[in-house]
Amino acid sequence: MYDSIFVGGLAFTAGWPTSRAVGVGVLNGRIAAVEPDDVLRKAGARDVIELEGGLIMPAFHDAHAHPIPGAIELMQCDLSQALDADDALRRIAAYASSHLEEEWILGGGWSMPHFAGGTPTRKALDEIVPDRPVALLNRDHHGVWVNSRALERAGIDRHTLDPTDGRIEREPDGSPAGVLHEGAMHLLDTVRPRVESGFALRALRRAHEEFFALGVVGWQDAYVGATAGLDDLLDTYQSALSEGQLSARVTAALWWQRGVGIGQLEDLLDRRARVESLGRPDVLLADTVKIMVDGVAENFSAAMSQPYTDPHGHGSHGCGTTFLDAAELTEAVIALDAADFSVHMHALGDRAVTIALDALEAARAANGPSARRHQLAHLQVVQGSDVDRFAQVGAFANLQLLWGAVDDQLEELTFPFLSPSLIDRHYPFRELRDAGASLAAGSDWPVSSANPWEAIHVAVNRALPGRRADSRINPSQAIDLATALSAYTAGSAAAGGRAGFSGALRRGLAADLVVLSTDPFAAPPELLHKVQARRTYLEGRCVFGDGPS
């Protein structure tokens, strides 16, 4: 007899081309059977969960997200739902007027295409909040919008030099205009209020709720360190675990500090050992290090092989930024690989992708092949000559599937500044699959939606809901539904270090499951974004929905 059986619908797992008419039996928190309904019903169970024509599959794992900062934004001045610039300003004014006790107005989520040139001004903020500092991260977290009070508190004026890894947006006379890009955001670090540890823990609980409601039971936190007013997030995760408040399966990607070099390796080893001593690898791992190789295309900091241009095709913005040069990156990756760390690299431009793969190739030559889970995330532009190299060096392609369609940000802030040959190489999902790359999928929430079905919709249709595929982003790079689901389940579980524990319908694995409202394989492709999680299970226990807990 099973503890529970899921019958009356269909099932899917990685390796299957489509759904199958089978159910799932669960015993002691593990998958005990994947069998036809009559076999499961005959064996019997304490709880019989009728799927009512829906589909059961492994719960999702998000291979690249920022759950605690994302939840904090929801709990502060949240601009993620603003419709345009005027709406963003209305929301800021309303938040400020209803939070008079707050010394600073903090939050984020504003969209760059809502503002001319992607850069709102301090003067617009000054008009609605003249008396308190304001600091609001943009949607991609590579820039912060500030008012004059915040600039004054930080001592930023026309004489302040740009940091080597960032840029201060300026007015014609050199005065700060109101946006700090990349490393320039850290000019606020000494004056912006720190997030209290209790607030960070509440945000982690909120993140659990948000992800479980989407059928997501695990994530790689792609920035675990001190950031944006937060103390080391590893402390937050450890506190949550010790207090019984951490149940999602988390892989903490420890932040590689720029400019410090391999001298930081000892501290990274100590932090990993602290987590290992807790003895709960099913819930918390800290065996991965995150390295930012480059920035983002919309502020010209993604490292490209060709110069950014003005809208008339004239070179004017350089080729972007690598935060570590090729030699520094290679030294870091070789050292981390030798220390048995997996390396998770932000590589968005094609030049960044090339030097990241070069570094992994050098580590393989220096240390030999390994089972470490090295991965490159984002992969906005990938040259054809680099596609085969992912499989050759054993690197995961960590894909943000939702980005593989033309949106306002690409339309207004990226494509006008890139050569046609770089536009042609955007998000080559199908090529990576066909070349044998291991695919994982992540949302990068709160940069973009955490809903896997919105991302899967784009992966399959190569277009946002309600739109047609745009020829500029090569519709032939779409992937099939089974591949997208496999990347978001087994692929992401493997990238997070839990291939033998979660992510598939296989006997002995944890019963981390999601019950869907419908069989997505029977749904029209243009309606995939409407698929919903009805219930989510973690080791057989219902953590979202109305199932038995």
Are 348 and 319 contacting, i.e. CB atoms less than 8 angstroms apart?
no
Query: Looking at residue 312, what is its pLDDT?
Result: 59
Q: Would you put residue 228 in left (φ > 0), alpha (ψ -120 to 50) or beta?
A: left
Which letter does DSSP use for residue 92 in this model? H
Is the distance from CB of 110 to CB of 446 less than 8 angstroms?
A: no
Give the per-residue pLDDT at 140: 85
Pull the structure tokens for residue 195.
Answer: 């997030």
All domains of the chain, ordered by start, with CATH?
2-58+505-544 (2.30.40.10), 73-188 (3.10.310.70)
Q: How many Å apart are CA 228 and CA 72, to the nearest integer?
A: 11
pLDDT on residue 227? 78
Strand ordering across the sheet containing 396-399 = 60-65, 216-224, 249-255, 284-292, 342-347, 375-378, 396-399, 438-441
Question: Which strands make up the sheet holding 2-7, listed edge to edge?
Answer: 30-35, 23-27, 2-7, 45-50
The alpha-helical segments, DSSP class H, found in 213-288 are: 233-242, 265-276
Tens of pLDDT along the chain (549 residues) come to: 999 999 999 999 999 999 999 999 999 999 999 999 999 999 999 999 999 999 999 999 999 999 999 999 999 999 999 999 999 999 999 999 999 999 999 999 999 999 998 999 999 999 999 999 999 999 888 899 999 999 999 999 999 999 988 999 999 999 999 999 999 999 999 999 998 999 999 999 999 999 999 999 999 999 999 877 888 999 999 999 999 999 999 999 999 999 899 999 999 999 999 999 999 999 999 999 999 999 999 999 999 999 999 765 566 669 999 999 999 999 999 999 999 999 999 999 999 999 999 999 999 999 999 999 999 999 999 999 999 999 999 999 999 999 999 999 999 999 999 999 999 999 999 999 999 999 999 999 999 999 999 999 999 999 999 999 999 999 999 999 999 999 999 999 999 999 999 999 999 999 999 999 999 999 999 999 999 999 999 999 999 997 655
Q: How far apart are CA 185 and CA 115, in angstroms?
A: 19
Distance CA 264, CA 332 (A): 10
Residue 313: per-residue pLDDT: 58
Dump the DSSP string for 331-377: HHHHHHHHTT-EEEEEE-SHHHHHHHHHHHHHHHHHH-------EEE
| Distances, alpha carbon 153 to alpha carbons 12, 99, 136, 214, in Å | 55, 20, 15, 40
